[in-house]
Amino acid sequence: MSQQKIVIIGGVATGPKAAARARRLDADAEITIIERGKLLSYGGCGMPYYIEGKVKEISELMATPAGVTRDIVFFDKVKNVKVLNETLALSINREAKTVEVVRVDSDEKQTIPYDKLVLATGGLPLIPPIEGIKTGHVFRLNHPDDAVAAREAITSGGVKRATIIGGGLIGMEVTEALAANGIAVSIVEMFPRLLPTILDFEMSHFLAKHVQAKGVQLYMEEKVIRLEENQGKVCKVVTNKREIDTDMVLLAVGVRPNTNLAKVAGLAIGSTGGIIVNEYLQTSDPDIYAGGDCVENLNLVSGQKVFVPMGSTANKHGRVIGDNVAGRSSTFPGITGTAVCKVFDYNVGRTGLGEEQARQLGYDVVTALVPSSDCAHYYPDNKLLLVKIIADRKTGKLLGGQVVGAGDGVKRIDVLATVLRFGGQVSDVGTLDLGYAPPYASAIDILAHATNTIENKINGLAKAVTPMEVKAKLERNEDFILLDVRGPNEYAAIRIENSHVKLIPLGQLRFRLAELPRDKEIIAFCKISLRGYEAYRILVGAGFENVSFMDGGIVAWPYETVSGNVK
């Protein structure tokens, strides 16, 4: 094959993947990676687990599955790829097809020619304009060096309290890491919920209850004004509402695409701030490719361009780019916006559109909120999982899904992401031939329960209201009955205590219909609203007209409940 020159700027995810793939396809190409830092091809997503101590050595994040460190020697001897680390790319001359670089330790400059250029410059951490942000023991998590510094601070024994600014993915993962080290954690988030770009309100509240039960203090809708120090280290976080004593601060407010080099070179930048690429991951210059956290992607559900930085996407980009710079013709179709994380004992995930996004795009949104076991309810290891499905009422098209709970939610997200990838309907989910055995799933999987609920709503067989709608009715003191159809013991253990609530166990409902007025709205519910739906159908069959059930039951109720014996 040709002895073309392939130059790659960026040595973390997309860049090394593109280099390795291109080398497998083109044995003769001259491949060069330019990396500003010293370290190469590291698993940045593993840094919270290094801080926690589950990953013992930071070098494990830079090793192959066989335990070989991916360093300069590895790329030279195994991949036959030249690496210029600790080297900064200064500028791109597109006409001459050269890149000017400089060694960060010696200021020595060099001009490197290319036939194909790959931009894998990644993302830059957002640094909020907070007074005192450069104080000691204030960390971000963008590079293994950051993780090492944070871990050293923790193991020194001087950190008893930590404050995380930002309740997104990184913030939540680091919360568990810090708590596992016996540190009291506070989270300050300017939005009204955790994981605000991932979870809808009720799902986020379900997660928040779990996080708070683990001793984490949550300060929602608060903005950090300044950080105060004592003897060179942070000692206090001052928000617009309070002061929080702390020994350590971690900034986790997100990243932005690193496009400075691309902008100066005159490459097209999208409305998201990322580099515009086509399906072949070519930029506006056909000889320059780009991938990873510096580009924007097509959301396959919304049809819009989005900036969603993910290590998994970056690696997929690298393979496609490696194909194309080596003469093949591979494409990257886009993403469905899938994200998952572990937060203490809960698995959290989302794919596709959230409810608010779907409404903004003009869909006639219908949702289902279903709590259930992740496997057969009688199997000893069954765990609770809350699932939310979002769909279009007019077409039945699946739009998105979210999961939160101790059960196996990630495999459900993967199923939904696959259906979304191929533009499927909610009815497709219910008829999928998924694996079934009591240790792994119920005979009708929780996803099928959720999508069957959606279909019932679309077909007029079910009418439901959300917990938020019920809460609003209670606050407005509307004239309606909130019908609890659980048993007396369940009611005594946990309940919504309000004058609108009336307890009639489901087994007695058919014989006590006379106790319910036919001129009032009735909303039935139970633990997970399985019996609530049954009660709804009983009432409809008995001629009641203004009836519905509450999605998710009391398990999904994100507001205050009362426990203990009834007075």
E strands present in 145-198: 161-165, 184-189
Q: Which two tokens stand for residue 506?
A: 């489901």
Q: Which of 247, 269, 248, 271 is nearest to 259 (CA)?
A: 269
Alpha carbon distance 41, 69 (integer Å): 9
Collapse the DSSP code of 142 into the 3-class scheme (helix H, G, I; strand E, B; otherwise coil) and give the result: coil
Alpha carbon distance 162, 151 (integer Å): 13
Q: Parallel, antiparallel, or unpaired for β 217-220 and 184-189?
A: parallel
Question: Computed over its alpha carbons, how large is the radius of gyration of the chain?
Answer: 27
Alpha carbon distance 271, 280 (integer Å): 20
- 434, 418 contact by CB (below 8 A): no
Task: Give the rounded distance of the alpha carbon of 265 from its chain centre.
Answer: 33
Q: Which of 453, 264, 246, 298 is nearest to 368 (CA)?
A: 453
DSSP label of 555: G
Collapse the DSSP code of 523 into the 3-class scheme (helix H, G, I; strand E, B; otherwise coil) and give the result: strand
Q: Which two tokens stand for residue 64?
A: 């192959």
The catalytic residue positions are 45
Alpha carbon distance 49, 58 (integer Å): 10
Q: Which two tokens stand for residue 410?
A: 């990630």
Contacts of 106 (CB under 8 A, 6+ apart): none
- 500, 471 contact by CB (below 8 A): no
Hunting for tokens 């004592």 — which residue is that?
230
Whole-angstrom CA distances from 368 to 12, 201, 545, 551 are 40, 14, 22, 7
Q: Which of 279, 270, 313 is nearest to 293 (CA)?
A: 313
Alpha carbon distance 57, 147 (integer Å): 11
Strand partners, 421: none
